[in-house]
Chain A
Amino acid sequence: MKKYLIVLSLLISILAISQTSNNLELDEAEYAALKEKSLRKVNDLSRYINVFTDKTISSSNRENAVDGAVKLFNSEENLVQVSSANNSSEIKKYKVRKYFNKIRILNYSKIDISWYDIQYVSNLKQGPDGKYYGVVTIFQKFKGYDGEGNLIYSDVTQKNIEIIIDVKENARGEKYSKVYLGDISVVETK
């Protein structure tokens, strides 16, 4: 009985710790480190996109890459909102997995996806739930080729990716964080 009481009190204290974590504030170094961590998460997403759109990689590995990409997100319910530069009234929304599967099976013999070396990270802002929120902007160059190697489609898109950072404190009072991706807006720039 005593053993169970100890376990119960431990559980209560863990719950209490995670509850107080809602008010954790960040110093300058921690803030900068979280911005870096957000960028790494976005780079992970870029790498997964490169894998699941690469037709030379086996189908099962590409499906695994979609799984990996989706796991970077806060939830499967996160949305990708796609709009065209010339027609703002045409906005399409997809859940992340559906969007990735859609571009995984695009009907091109070869796809080239490259990323501009420009990444802008917004300031992080704390929401009422205590989590920190930011947005990373990246630019993607897409080229689709037919069987003869002719370029049949190309675009450059700006992706604004939400970042959700859950900062918590462990029993020793050390801060740790989990970074997730949130919703994405994709805007064709040319």
Chain B
Amino acid sequence: MKYLVIFLIITSKLLFAQTIKNNNIERFDINEYHFKIKVKQLNEFIERFNGEYKIVNTGDTALSDIEKVMFLIDYEYINKNEELCNEFVNSMVSQKYNISFIDKSWYSKLECSVKYNGKLQTMFLFMQIEADKEGKTRWVIKNVDMPFIKIEGKQSKKEFINPVNNEVQFSRLSDYIVKNKVQYLASNKFKMDYLSVFMYLVQTKSIEFTQVKNIEYVFYTPNYRFKVIDINRSEKNSGWLISEINKDNTGMPILNSEDLLRKEKQNKNEALDKIIFDAKNLKTDENN
């Protein structure tokens, strides 16, 4: 309730500033005002989150940094999660956390329609900005999820190629492939690489792309993960807004095995740094 009040104060402050500017409430064009303060592009979301962009003629300079970030959260979400939103906003503002367009701390999840085997299916593409050494950027597909395709390895005490079958030119191999039992030959650690399968299906025209249905962006900060979606409504609090916040100290999304390796390396480095730091402290203590 407290945050609903804060939200109303924020919006009324903006409204008040605009009204003063026009000096006549009758002349106030609510649509134009909505569009001015609507978060129209993700770029605008990032600029406003980072405090780099001022909405012209809306009196937003009267807002504190906390109010500015709070305004980027869907008010319906604030109403249901007041404490979390407050903690999140305070944390972002006190840390002066800025979103960087070119780093790996965020990604886009696209819900797409495709036709597979003549049926309309839903799949997800996980896309990220990739920058080269000169800072030139492009969107790349980091991974995909196709819930309509499931390939898992299987283990069985009855279905396997025995350890000496190599001596007879892997005579059992063709049987497993011809009879579509090849999943029994996958290793215990087998995990399907959806992106490669997707690319193959596209190249062989086995999958037909229809359209992007929905887009969401997921951002990782040192202690939180938050989702941004386009909330299209005729209200001041509209456009690309934070629709969900979670406590998460992963720091970066793990979208594929490459990210996992990077994260493991980072964890190892951090652990090593800690050991070195502790060892140095121990030595200083001994000297003292």
Contact = CB atoms under 8 A, between A and B. Distances in A.
Interface string B19-48: 000000000000110011000110110010
Given A125-B137, A139-B35, A156-B31, A89 B41 contact: no
Interface residues on B, range: 20 to 34
A116 B31 contact: yes
Interface in A79-129: 85, 88-89, 91, 93, 116-118, 120, 122-123, 125-128
Interface stretch (B10-18, B128-136, B184-192, B275-283): B128-136
Nearest to B137: A125
Interface string B190-213: 000000000000000000000111
Given A122-B43, A127-B138, A158-B40, 5 more contacts: A91-B212, A118-B36, A137-B41, A189-B35, A190-B31
B41 A120 contact: yes
A135 interface: yes
Interface of B: 31-32, 35-36, 40-41, 43-44, 47, 101, 113, 132, 134-138, 211-214, 232, 234
B44 A122 contact: yes
Contacts of A190: 31, 234
Contact of B135 (A118, A126, A158): A126
Contacts of A187: 232
A123 B214 CA distance: 23
A153 to B, nearest CB: 17
A190 B35 CA distance: 12
Contacts of B113: 89
B134 A23 contact: yes
Nearest to A122: B43
B232 A160 contact: no
8 contacts: A89-B113, A89-B213, A91-B212, A116-B32, A120-B41, A126-B137, A137-B40, A160-B40
Contacts of B211: 91, 93
Contact of A189 (B44, B134, B213, B234): B234
B234 A130 contact: no
Contacts of A156: 31
- Between A85, A88, A120, A123, the greatest number of chain B beta carbons within 10 A of the residue's beta carbon is seen for A120
Interface string A150-181: 00000010101000000000000000000000
A180 B82 CA distance: 45
B41 A128 contact: no
Contacts of B232: 85, 187, 189
A123 B45 CA distance: 12
Given A89-B213, A91-B211, A139-B35, A127 B136 contact: yes
